Amino acid sequence: MSRTKTIKSPSSLDHRYVHEDVGYGLVPIAALGALAGVPTPTIDALVQLASLAVRVDYRRDGLTLEKLGIAGKSPAELLKFVEDGA
């Protein structure tokens, strides 16, 4: 006898899991990659697809380098900031 198990999951993509993971996870990772000159094509595609699916501009509304207070820093400046806190 086979028993089917279900997984408790959100009923739509318009859910905090998606909003948080994309806007506050993938967006800053992609931005830090761009800052360091590291391509993030898969992350970029996921951000774009999620943005289209839920009609949210995650690149604008997510956790940007500006919101983190590190916009305009060079990779060397960012490393100094991480190591020294200044």
pLDDT at 67: 96
pLDDT at res. 1: 60
CA dihedral sign, ordered 54, 59, 65, 66: negative
The DSSP code for 64 is: -
Structure tokens at 55: 């009609």
pTM of the model: 0.83
Q: Convert the pLDDT of each residue in 51-63 to its tens digit.
A: 999 999 999 999 9
Buried-exposed string 40-77: b where 16+ CB fall within 10 A, e elsewhere: beebbebbeebbeeeebebbeebbbbeeeebeeeeeee
* pLDDT tens-digit series, residues 21-45: 999 999 999 999 999 999 999 999 9
